[in-house]
Amino acid sequence: MKRNSPLLVLGLLACGDLAAASGAGGQVARIAEAPVLDGRLDDAVWQRVEPIGELTQVAPEAGRPAPVATRVRLAQDGATLYVGIEALELPGYARSARQTRRDADFDGDDHVTLVLDPARAGRNGYLFRVNARGAQFDALIFDSAELRADWDAIWDARVQAVDGGWTAELAIPLHALTASGSGDWGLNVERYLAATGERLRWRGALPDREVAVLRLAGGLAGLLAHADRYHGNTRLQQ
């Protein structure tokens, strides 16, 4: 029987990742006034920002439409990236949000993950995660998909339980991120529903790939940061 060469197999896998990441990109809106960071999305600024688009089911049935809506909006004022998240739920859904500690394991909690690739090179990036109780997790992404969880940026997140689900607001200072200044970033978003084990993702609905795989990220326009101000407001755990 004929066997494919390792290089051919790797090439096919890379092509599959790129195809899974295809689709319209996201846009970061430029705003003049920052939203009040309270977890609610009732600020006028959020009403003017369009969501990046619906997520797709990764598990248990990859590629199927998401059973519930997750709307993610992005805005920046030149100093901070603001993320507004609206996570809707079906009636009777039993939300789980037990963790309150920073950088805890959120596998048993409902949570949303944001992945950023400032150079859109698929090599290095950042992961930010918030659970439905407002607990935070962050990590550096290196070697395309590996996580360094001892990295901590100084950022903020607020969460509110609302009728039909929960909402969150994230504020990430741009000087915490290394960027090329081109404004062409990579972005991915994943939501986990603990009670059902469902994973929903914006780009790259491949069940054998984690959301931290940067090749899966879609495009993100409108976000600028200065290359000479990276790691400005971050700390490493000792």
Judge contact between 125 and 115, C-beta under 8 A. Answer: yes
Q: What are residue 186's DSSP bridge partners?
A: 117, 219
Give the CATH number of the domain where residue 209 resides: 2.60.40.1190
All residues at 6 or more sequence positions from 13 whose CB lies less than 8 Å from its CB, including other chains: none
Judged against a pLDDT cut of 70, whether residue 234 lies above it is answered with: no
The reported pTM is 0.86
Judge contact between 167 and 38, C-beta under 8 A. Answer: no
H/E element, 200: strand 198-201
Residue 15 resides in a domain: no
Residue 97 resides in a domain: yes
Residue 90 resides in a domain: yes
Place of tokens 């790691």: 231
Specify the number of domains making up the chain: 1
Residue 231: predicted pLDDT: 37
Which DSSP string corresponds to 45-97? HHHTS------EEEESSTTSBPSS-EEEEEEE-SSEEEEEEEEE--TT-----
Judged against a pLDDT cut of 50, whether residue 145 lies above it is answered with: yes
Taking residues 64-91, report their average pLDDT. 97
Q: pLDDT tens across 151-163, in order?
A: 999 999 999 999 9
Taking residues 201-221, report their average pLDDT. 97
Residue 9 resides in a domain: no
Judged against a pLDDT cut of 50, whether residue 88 lies above it is answered with: yes
Q: How many CB atoms lie within 10 A of CB 237?
A: 9
Residue 3 resides in a domain: no
Residue 107 lies in domain: 26-236
